[in-house]
Amino acid sequence: MTPERYRRIRQMLAMRQPDLTVCLERVHKPHNLAAMMRNCDAAGAHHVHVVWNTRHEIRTGTSVGAQNWLKLHSHKSTADALASLKTQGMQVLVTHLSEQAVDFRRIDYTRPTAIWFGQERTGATPEAVAAADQQIIIPMLGMTQSLNVSVAGALILYEAQRQRQLAGLYNQPRLEEAECQRILFEGGYPKLKTLCRIKGLDYPQIDDEGQILASDAWWQRMQQDGRVKP
């Protein structure tokens, strides 16, 4: 990894918002998941939660590698996802068309926030709607009353970004260093990342120039197949 790439990744990580996330509940179109991950990366959200109906492969062509810079959390049920978010003290906002829903711009996104999106055709489940702290809508002036889930996600995430920038939440690093080190290694040394998983090796530390800090024993394990050089 070059020093320039190291600094670029560090700059990105310094603006990550660990307490801003989205949850996709049984979204069944793979390109929507990939597009939402790209939205999250662009807005500085770091975590993405997914309640899987049938797990799909992420379409890398749509996400353009965004999944490499995010943390994806998979949940087997709506209840599991809600419990995870509530345990972190997040307000859960569900996109849902109802009389109780408010304009998404009226929400305070500087609070720890999870934005919940339901399945493309049927929307969020009654369980998710009942458990949410607030229902939100995107006002529409035309004949249609819904947007593509990834488009809706982009609008809401950028409102959250706007509020957080005004509050100065992007001015100081907020991501734990251990998570930064994971992403630096995986993003800077993707081939070695794969070998670490194959060989069962822990990730090494990355120094301030983007170079690997590892013991001789670690490198010896890496070089056992004769293809890796320090």
Task: List, as residue ranges, the binding site for S-adenosyl-L-methionine.
Answer: 95, 138, 147
Residues 6+ apart with CB under 8 A from 3: 209, 210
Task: Name beta bridge partners: 114.
Answer: 21, 92
- Please report, in range form, the residues annotated as the binding site: 95, 138, 147
CA angle in degrees (0–180, nearest 5) for 106-108-110: 150
